[in-house]
A and B are shown apart, each in its own frame.
Chain A
Amino acid sequence: MWAILSLVVENKPGILFKVTHMFRARNFNIDSISVGVMANPDYSKMTITTYGDDKQIDQIVKQLDKMIDVIRVDRLDENMTVFRELCIFRIKVGNASDSMEINKMAGAYGGKMHDVKRDSIMVELTATPDQIKAFEELAAPFGIVDVARTGVAALQRSGV
C-alpha cells in the first residue's frame, strides 16, 4: 500500500538526516521525499511517500511522531489531498514527426517543452506519480535519455 505522509519539522540542520535514518534503521523504505521551508521559517514541511501494510505505516507514523524535531505527522488520504510531483524528461528525437508526437503527448499531460534540439527535447511535467508513470511509458519507445524528479509535494484539502 502506498502512503503519503506530511510532516512539520523544525527547520534546523540535520533533521533530514534524522528522519531518513529512522527509515533505514527500522527497515522501512522511502519512495520519495520533498522538503521545503514553510510560511513560518522556523518550520519545514516534509512530504514522504512510502510503501507498507497498515501495521508498517502505523509504525512509521508513530516512530516519526516520537522524534522530538518532528512537530506533527499526518497520513494523508489520497482522495482528500492535492499531491503533485515535478518531473523533467529528456527524450530522444529521431525526426520531425517524433517532435510533433512528443509535443502532442506532453500537451495531453499538461507538460511544457524546453531545450528543443535536433536530437532531443525536454519535457517538464507536474502531475501525480501515476500520471508521470503513464507518460514515461508513452515516452519510452522514443528513448528517455535522462530524467529528474522532485518527489511528491502534498497538501490536504481544507474542510476535511
Chain B
Amino acid sequence: MSGAKALMVAMEKEGVRQVFGLPGGANLPMYDEFARCDIRHILVRHEQSAAHMADGFGRVSRKPGVCFATSGPGATNILTGIATAQADSAPMVAVTGQVPVSMIGRDAFQESDIIGMANPVVKYAFQPRTASEIPESVRKGFFIAETGRPGPVLIDIPKDVQQNEDDMVFPNEFQIKGYHPWTDPDVANVERAIAILLNTERPVILAGGGTIISSAFAELQALAELLMIPVVTTFKGKGAFPENHPLSLGPIGMHGHAEANRIIDQADCVLAIGTRFSDRSVGTFEDFERRRKIIHMDVDPAEIGKNQTTSVAVVGDVRASLRIMLKLLENKPRLVEETAWLKNAKETKSYWKENLKIHPGEMGAAKILRKLRELLPADSIVTTEVGQHQMWASLFFDVIHPGTFFSSTGLGTMGWGFPAAIGAKAARPDVHVVDIAGDGSFNMTENSLATAVLEDIPVIVFLINNYSLGMVAQWQRTFYERRMIGVDQGQCPDYVKLAESYGAQGIRAQSLDELGSAIKAALASDVATVIDIPIDPEEDVLPFVAPGTPLKDMILPS
C-alpha cells in the first residue's frame, strides 16, 4: 500500500468524513486518493481558510478537523490557522505535503521547513520519513490533538513518502511515553477548595473556555445553583453558562459586561474553571491575584501558577473535578437563604441591564444584535470575527444554549469567523450557523463564499459594517487624539454585489424592520447569505478597560 493510501485509510479509521484543503505539487499523491475513498474534499480558496474551517469543525464536534495543504507557501499559509487553534486549544490535524526526502535542505522549489516554523504553535508535529510510519503518525496525531488540552497537530509528509509502497500496520495500541493527558483530580485538593468556597463571603465562579471544551455545562450549572454563587465567564468561556440564567453576569475583561467586572472586582474568592487568566480577562495580573483567593481547576498543570498565584489548584479534566466537588458537597450543610452578596450581584446586574447607555441610533450595535438573538433559534451556532463586532457580540448577544458560541479569542485572528462557521456547519448541518462579522475581518477570508456556495454549506454572515477597521479606529479616537491612520475602508466593496457575484444571497438592512426580514430570509435560504448592516462608524465598544489597567478602572459610556 502507498503512503498516501495509508494516510487515507488511517484517517477513515479515525472517523474523518471530510477534509478542507487545496492541492499542489507536493500533495498530489494524497489528493489522488480522494478518488478512491469515502472522505469528502472541500476545496478552499486560500489555505488559511482551510485551517480555520478545520478549527471550526473541531471546536463544534470536539473531534479534530482536518486540513490539507501543499508544501512551501501552502504550508506557510496554514500557519496562522494552526497558531489560532493552538491559542484556543482547538483539536486539529493539518497534513502538509513536503518536497521529497532527498530534496529536503536543498532549498528546493516550494520547500519550507514547516516543522521548524510550526514548532512553537503546534501541540505536536510528525514528519514520517518512511511510508510505513504513516499509520502510527496518524493514530498518535489524532490522539494527541483531541485528548487532554486539545490542540493542533501537524503531519508533514514528503512526496516520495506518500508515493512509496510498503507493508502497512494500523496499530490500535501505541505508546507515547512523554504524554500524560489525564490526571485524576486530587480529592484532597477539591476538599480544600470547598473549605475555601464555603468560608468566603463573596465568592464568584469564573468559567473559562476549558469548561466548554470538557462539556462541563450541567456540572457548572448544578454547582452554581447548589451554592447560589454568581457566575462570570472569560470571553472564551462565553456561553459556558446560559446567559439568560439569573446567576449569569456574562464575560469579564477588557470589554466585559459592566456587572461582571464590578462583581468580580468585589469578590473575595474566585473559583476559576478551565481558564488561563489571559491579560484581556483579568486586566492586570498583580491586581487580580492580590485582591482575592483563587481556586484554579485546569487540565493543564502548566497553567497553574503561570499567570496567577492560586490558593488551591485542582489539576484534571474540569468536568471530572466539578463532579467530585458536587459529590463532596452533598454531605455539607449549606445556606438556603439568598446571601447579601448574591442580592448585591443581582442588583448590580439589573442596574446595568437598565442603565448601560447604548448607541441612540436605530442601527446601534446593541439593537441589531438583540434583533438577531430574538430571531435566531437558541440552538444555532455563532462564530465571530475579531474586532468591535466581536466585543459587541460579547456584550449584547446572549448565548442561551451552552457551547454554541465560538470566537478567535486567544490569537485574535481576523478572518477566522467565516471559514470557522463553514467548518461548524459541516460538523452540524442540522443547525443554523451565523458568523457575526465586521467588514475588516470579513475582507480577509471573504473568498470562502465560493466554498460555502459550491460545496453547499449555507452559513449566514451577519456583517456589522462600518467600512472601517473599527477597533483600531476606536483606539485611535481614544488614545491617539483622533489621528485616524489606516482604518478607512472607503465604501468598498459593495457586499451585496460581492455576495451575489459568488452566487450567494446578499441583503442590505438599513432599518431594524429590514434587518428582521433579512434574518428571516437568511434562515430560510438554501444558499449562504451575507446581511450587510451599515452602522455608525463612530460607535465605540463600551465598557472598555484600557490595556494594563485593573478591571475596576472600566471606562463606561457617557
Q: A10-B178, A17-B119, A21-B119 are in contact. Are A68 and B124 (CB under 8 A)?
A: yes
Is B305 positioned at the interface, with any CB of A under 8 Å from its CB? yes
Structural contact, A68 and B176, CB atoms closer than 8 A: yes
Query: Given contacts A18-B119, A66-B300, is CB(A55)–CB(B305) below 8 Å?
Result: yes
B104 CB to closest chain A CB (Å) equals 12
B174 within 8 A of partner (CB): no
* Interface pair A65/B177, CB less than 8 Å apart: no
**Beyond A59-B306, A70-B178, is A14–B301 a contact (Cβ under 8 Å)?**
no
- A66 close to B306 (CB less than 8 A): no
Alpha-carbon distance A18/B119, docked complex (angstroms): 7
Q: Is B116 an interface residue (CB 8 A)?
A: yes
Q: Which of B124, B144, B178, B305 contacts A71 (CB 8 A)?
A: B178
* Interface members, chain A 51-101 (any B CB < 8 Å): 55, 58-59, 62-63, 65-72
Residues of A contacting B306 in the complex (Cβ-Cβ under 8 angstroms): 59, 62
Contacts of A63 in B (CB 8 A): 302
In contact, A67 and B119 (Cβ under 8 angstroms): no
Any B CB within 8 A of the CB of A39? no
Which A residues are CB-close (under 8 A) to B109?
A: none
Question: Main secondary structure on chain A at its contact with chain B?
Answer: helix
**How far does the alpha carbon of A21 sit from the alpha carbon of B124 in the complex, in Å?**
14
Query: When the two chains form the complex, which single residue of A25, A65, A70 contacts B301, counting CB atoms closer than 8 Å?
Result: A65
Across the interface, A66 reaches (CB within 8 A) one of B301, B305, B309, namely B301
Given contacts A10-B178, A68-B178, A70-B178, contact A62 B119 (CB under 8 A): no
A14 near B115 (CB under 8 angstroms)?
A: yes
Which residue from chain B places its CB closest to the CB of A8 in the assembled complex?
B178
B120 close to chain A: CB less than 8 A: yes
Q: Mark B338-378, 1 if CB is under 8 A from A, else 0.
A: 00000000000000000000000000000000000000000
Asked if residues B119 and A66 are in contact (CB atoms below 8 Å), the reply is no
| Beta-carbon contact of A62 and B179 below 8 Å | no
Q: Which residue of A lies closest to B144 (CB)?
A: A68
* CA gap between A123 and B162 in the complex, in Å: 54
**Complex Cα–Cα for A58 and B302 (A):** 9
CB of B314, distance to nearest CB on chain A (Å) = 15
CA distance A17 to B300 in the complex (A): 23
Q: Are B178 and A25 in contact (CB under 8 A)?
A: no
Instruction: For the complex, give the distance between the alpha carbons of A62 and B116 in Å.
Output: 22
**Closest CB of chain A to B251's CB: distance in Å?**
27
Select which of B120, B178, B304 is within 8 A of A69 by beta carbon: B178
User: Could you tell me if B120 and A66 are in contact, using CB atoms closer than 8 angstroms?
Assistant: no
With known contacts A58-B305, A66-B301, A71–B119 Cβ distance under 8 A: no
CA distance A65 to B123 in the complex (A): 13
List CB contacts (< 8 Å) of B288-310 with chain A: 300-302, 304-306, 309
Q: Which of A21, A55, A66, A70 has the most CB of B within 10 A?
A: A66
**Chain B, interface SS category:** loop
With contacts A69-B178, A70-B178 taken as known, whether A17 is within 8 angstroms of B116 at the C-beta atoms is: yes
Contacts of B176 in A (CB 8 A): 68
Contact with B along A95-113 (1 / 0, CB 8 A): 0000000000000000000
List residues of chain B with CB within 8 A of the CB of A71: 177-178
Q: When A68-B144, A68-B179 are in contact, do A25 and B302 touch as well, CB less than 8 Å?
A: no
Across the interface, A21 reaches (CB within 8 A) one of B120, B123, B302, namely B120
Q: Which residues of A contact B115 (CB under 8 A)?
A: 14
Q: How far is the CB of B177 from chain A (nearest CB, A)?
A: 5
Separation in Å of the A73 CB from the closest CB of chain B?
10
What residue in chain A is nearest B177 (Cβ atoms)? Answer: A71
Residue of B nearest to A14 (CB): B115
**Of all chain A residues, which has the CB nearest B116?**
A17
Whole-angstrom CA separation of A18 from B304 in the bound complex: 22
Please measure, in the bound complex, the distance between the C-alpha atom of A63 and the C-alpha atom of B303, giving whole angstroms. 9
Q: Which residue of A lies closest to B127 (CB)?
A: A14
A13-30 contacts to B (CB < 8 Å): 14, 17-18, 21, 25
Instruction: Verify B178–A59 contact, CB threshold 8 A.
Output: no
Instruction: Name the residue on B nearest A58 (C-beta).
Output: B305
Q: Which residue from chain B places its CB closest to the CB of A54 in the assembled complex?
A: B305
Residues 59-111 of B at the A interface (beta carbon under 8 Å)? none
Q: Are B302 and A59 in contact (CB under 8 A)?
A: yes
Complex: A71 Cα to B123 Cα, angstroms: 16
**A62-B301 CB under 8 A given contacts A17-B119, A25-B120:** yes
Q: Which of A25, A59, A68 has the most C-beta atoms of chain B within 10 angstroms of its own C-beta?
A: A68
Given the complex, which residues of A lie within 8 Å of B120, measured CB to CB?
21, 25
Alpha-carbon separation in the docked complex, A57 to B221 (Å) = 37
Contact A59-B305, Cβ < 8 Å, known A68-B178, A68-B179: yes
Residue among B115, B144, B302 facing the most chain A CB atoms (10 A cut-off)? B302
Chain A residues closer than 8 Å to B179, beta-carbon distance = 68
Given contacts A17-B119, A21-B119, A68-B144, contact A62 B178 (CB under 8 A): no
Complex Cα distance A68/B178, Å? 5
- Say yes or no: B302 contacts A65, CB within 8 Å: yes
Interfacial residues, chain B to chain A (CB-CB below 8 A):
115-116, 119-120, 123-124, 144, 176-179, 300-302, 304-306, 309
Can you offer 27 A-B residue contacts whose CB atoms are under 8 A? Answer: A10-B178, A14-B115, A14-B116, A14-B119, A17-B116, A17-B119, A18-B119, A21-B120, A25-B120, A55-B305, A59-B302, A59-B305, A62-B302, A62-B304, A62-B305, A62-B306, A63-B302, A66-B301, A66-B302, A68-B123, A68-B124, A68-B178, A68-B179, A70-B178, A71-B177, A71-B178, A72-B178
Q: Lowest 3 A-B CB distances belong to which pairs?
A: A62-B302, A71-B178, A68-B179
A residues apposed to B, CB below 8 Å: 9-10, 14, 17-18, 21, 25, 55, 58-59, 62-63, 65-72
Told that A58-B305, A62-B304, A63-B302 touch, could you supply 5 new A-B pairs with CB distance under 8 A? A14-B115, A67-B178, A68-B123, A68-B179, A72-B178
